[in-house]
Amino acid sequence: MNKVVKNAEEAIKDIFDGAVMMLGGFGLCGIPENCIAALVKKGTKNLTCISNNAGVDDFGIGLMLQQHQVKKMISSYVGENAEFERQLLSGELEVELIPQGTLATRCMATGYGMPAIFTPAGVGTEVAEGKETRVFNGKTYLLEYAFEADFAIVKAWKGDTHGNLIYKATARNFNPLMAMGGKITIAEVEELVEPGKLDPNEIHTPGIYVHRIFKGTNYEKRIEQKTVSK
């Protein structure tokens, strides 16, 4: 099976209107910049995006929000995006806010083939409204379901043509969890090598999870907020 595609445009060409997508990254760290840009160019609409955050106004998922391509955001932190806030308050955007640990564990459950998890996070809050609870050893837990994602889009530091991935430093955040969860997983990498060039002990995502891979270009790797000493 040849997993290598030419570029982001080819990798995302069959992402359809109304698709449910997982997007790796934390803040602007480790986000699939090339694929997001390709989706903006393609103009795919009514997307449901499962992502820790919504980027910033003019970068990351924020670019798709600007073009009104996102119907629903499923996230845990969205505080850096004024356009996201505007669309939420105006009713243009459907939003499901999830505790960050719950989001990560639901992603993990998706990859592991588990239909649901029980977690104490959110019990007794509005997060629990309408959801089933159960008591284990005297403590109440909330039932949360795994996701059903049509596509997962992740960004790695290195990858080989079999789809094995290595993430660098902080970029090893939501990417490994989401790479496991897509019916089709697309990986963009900074360096693409032949099989056998990666140390098996350093691989974070085995290639069995990855369906398409390409070498990305022109990474900006923007920092959301930079604080320096005087």
User: Hunting for tokens 């588990």 — which residue is that?
Assistant: 114
- Residue ranges of domains in the chain: 8-100+147-215
Phi, psi (rounded to 5 degrees) for 105: -75, -35
pLDDT tens for 77-88 read 887 888 999 999
Phi, psi (rounded to 5 degrees) for 159: -155, 160
Q: Return the structure tokens found at 196.
A: 């056998």
Mean of the pLDDT values across residues 49-64? Answer: 93
88/73 Cα distance (integer angstroms): 10
Sign of torsion, CA 70 171 203 33?
positive
58-67, 119-128, 221-230: lowest mean pLDDT where?
221-230
221/46 Cα distance (integer angstroms): 27
CATH, domain 8-100+147-215, list 3.20.20.150, 3.40.50.300, 3.40.1080.10, 3.40.50.920 = 3.40.1080.10
Measured from the Cβ of residue 54, the count of other Cβ atoms closer than 10 Å reads 28
pLDDT tens for 18-44 read 999 999 999 899 999 999 999 999 999
Does residue 90 carry a pLDDT above 90?
A: yes
62/56 Cα distance (integer angstroms): 5
Q: pTM for the whole thing?
A: 0.93
Q: If you ran DSSP here, which 8-state letter would residue 57 be given?
A: T
> Which segments of 12-126 does DSSP mark as H helices, in order?
33-42, 61-66, 82-90, 100-112
Does residue 204 carry a pLDDT above 90?
A: yes
Give SS3 for 214.
strand
